[in-house]
Chains A and B, each alone.
Chain A
Amino acid sequence: MEITVAQAIIKFLQEEGVEVIFGYPGGAVIGFYDALYESSLRHVLVRHEQGAAHAADGYARASGKVGVCVATSGPGATNLVTGLATAFMDSSPIIAITGQVRTSVLGKDSFQEADITGITMPITKHNYLVKDPDQVLTIFKEAFYIATTGRKGPVLIDIPADVFMAKINYSYPSNINLPGYKPTYEPHPLQIKKAVNLLKSAERPVILAGGGVISSFASSELIELAEKINTPVVTTLMGKGAIPEDHYLYCGFIGMHGAAYANFTINNSDLIIAIGVRFSDRSTGRVDTFAPNAKIIHIDIDPAEIGKNVIPYVPIVADAKLALQRLKEEVESKDNSKWLEQIREWKEKYPLKYKNQEGVIKPQYVIEKIYEITKGSAIVVTEVGQNQMWAAQFYKVKYPRQFITSGGLGTMGFGLPAAIGAQIANPDKLVIDIAGDGSIQMNIQELATAVTQRLPIKIFILNNACLGMVRQWQELFYKKRYSCTLFDFSPDFEKLAAAYGAYGRRVEDPSEVEDAIYWALEKNDAPVIVDFKVIREENVFPMVPAGGSIDKMMID
């Protein structure tokens, strides 16, 4: 039986196991939305296409499944761009479906035409413009395969309005023919042998776990390996959650705002087993002084990451899970007690810390209380800036996919829509968005989405009345010339919440912090904003100045 391409896409999505899509209609996708009208596929209507992309991303990160978003041609599609770039930088598997102008007027600067495949070429893993209705289903199958295998990432499919309405015969495409795409999963046995041998002679080994461990569901393999060789584990920001933070071998996350003991550990190591990391500048600091005495075993599924930023001693192109399994099978147990003792001393001497101050709310205190009261079991999504770093430092997570943050792109406005995606993926879990007063205003319209979907997301704003992270840089490196970072106006977030039909509360006194958190946690039928008026001048420490060596930190 012939059905329209739009109907076929929906049928395909359902067969592929997609339970929800995030989108926003418009002229070029009206045919798609028409087909959706009579379908059982859940569609979450966002209030801005950027929200759709971030929500799909948050959904993907929280669930490990593909996130799907939809937008119309032109401005709808360009509004997805930041969300796609965010997902691309953090290797998050999402599919973006965009409408395009009719094939007959393509390339003529028609109304709402934008070359979205051209625009998104550098920020998608792959993209397609589908002009032939008979190709649509094959392309969808390929797109899902590409997004979810190898190094995961966003794939965009651009479909002209007339193609949506064309009639095709539906049959689920089971074959994939991608001769140019063959990810390597199995590690080379010789390389594993080399790694095992290196480990034997190492005296100060450390495991560096990144987002790839989480992406490949390799957390338990990571822990098993670490325990077998008694080796400390540090993570990148993206690797937070790969190992429970209360695990005896966990030693913090490294990088610009990582724990001092984490940076000391990696920089003093003589062997780094790096898994699913890309040695980004935010993690390594100045790369030529990064871990100067360490040999690096670099395991990554993306061959291009190996040798890009640091030169490894043993390169291993493989899936993190398989590589960790093989390593664990072949390594011998190891005694690193002297090294671990040294690290314990660093931990004691240089803990993550802050000072409470009479009468003012410290942002770190708020995070610490949220952590205590939620018993470390909430899914924590962050915005970007100081709030993000404090959340990473003071909210200790227990499991993978519990800490969701825009690491690579550092996208302000990611948090709220990503929290929407995370909450939809986990309706029974507590989802928190740790926000700054700047970031939250970048996609505040998504409060409407959360309200209409009855999502009880807790939005905790660390309101420092400024763009805190930029203000911090200006204080430290630009002679306190606070150019355009201090807000002299703030919306009344309590009223704003009320206007949207959410719960809102302002907290100005430190004694009220706990009560406000409990109050927020009780609400379960709508989102909650708690606006914590925190001290403006607080800085995130430790800090490695940009381009500095990671063991030369400003501690406070």
Chain B
Amino acid sequence: MKHTLSLLVENKPGVLARIAGLFSRRGYNIESLAVNTTESPDISHITLVVDGDERVLEQITKQLYKLIVVLKVNDFTNFPVVERELALIRVSSDSNNRRAIIDLVEIFRASIVDVSEKELIIEITGDSDKINAFIKNLEPYGIKEMVRTGRIVMPRGMRLNSK
């Protein structure tokens, strides 16, 4: 099962190496990773998507807590959260299909951020499902390149009990 972990870590050199090293050393797989600053300059935020059963997740959480630089680990898997990813997609497009693509963009509330003769760059934000669905719909036109961020999440308006 996929779990979304949200980590607060000290903003110090080598933090990401410590966390990535821990995952690879213990054979856990990181499926998605996003590292950001927070409202506090001393603290960074890392969102990880990892695969594993409850027992594996418990180990991962405990091992993360053993890192001195890790302040907080929240497993948001079973919490109501706002979840976002962002993707930039370069898609082939000419005057024949441009209208159809623009329609799709509107339906998905994406936006076109660059236009040239033979292609468009589209920006889309949303949860994974939405982005996946959008990509599927775009595929017939020919996706030339895609860059996708890791997932970030924020719990909805309720306090959570962290482990």
Contact = CB atoms under 8 A, between A and B. Distances in A.
Contacts of A129: 13-14
A181 B68 contact: yes
B110 to A, nearest CB: 39
Contacts of B59: 304, 307-308
A167 interface: no
Contact of A180 (B14, B62, B69): B69
Interface stretch (A116-124, A465-473, A523-531): A116-124
Given A117-B14, A122-B25, A303-B62, A180 B68 contact: yes
Contacts of B63: 304
A122 B21 contact: yes
A363 to B, nearest CB: 37
Contacts of B107: none
Interface in A152-207: 178-181
Contacts of A303: 62, 65
Nearest to A127: B14
A126 interface: yes
B81 interface: no
Contact of B10 (A118, A180, A302, A306): A180
Nearest to A180: B71
Contacts of B10: 179-180
A307 B68 contact: no
Contacts of B21: 121-122
Interface in B45-73: 55, 58-59, 62-63, 65-71
Interface string A262-286: 0000000000000000000000000
B109 interface: no
A129 B65 CA distance: 21
Contacts of A209: none
Contact of A304 (B9, B13, B55, B65): B65
A299 interface: no
Most buried by A among B9, B10, B18: B18
A180 B66 CA distance: 9
Nearest to B25: A122
A179 B71 contact: yes
B17 interface: yes
Nearest to A131: B13
Contact of B70 (A121, A146, A180, A307): A180
Nearest to B66: A304
A448 B21 CA distance: 38
Contacts of B13: 129
B66 A302 contact: yes
B150 to A, nearest CB: 22
B67 A118 contact: no
Nearest to A182: B65
Interface string A83-123: 00000000000000000000000000000000001100110
B17 A118 contact: yes
A546 B1 CA distance: 32
A180 B15 CA distance: 12
Contacts of A307: 55, 58-59, 62
Nearest to A146: B68
B67 A180 contact: yes
B65 A178 contact: no
Interface in B13-37: 13-14, 17-18, 21-22, 25
A116 to B, nearest CB: 12
A308 B62 CA distance: 10
A24 B13 CA distance: 28
B44 to A, nearest CB: 12
17 contacts: A118-B17, A121-B14, A122-B21, A126-B68, A129-B14, A178-B68, A180-B69, A180-B70, A181-B68, A303-B62, A303-B65, A304-B59, A304-B63, A304-B65, A304-B66, A306-B62, A307-B59
Interface of B: 9-10, 13-14, 17-18, 21-22, 25, 55, 58-59, 62-63, 65-71
- A-B interface, 3 closest residue pairs, ranked by CB to CB distance from nearest: A304-B62, A180-B71, A126-B68
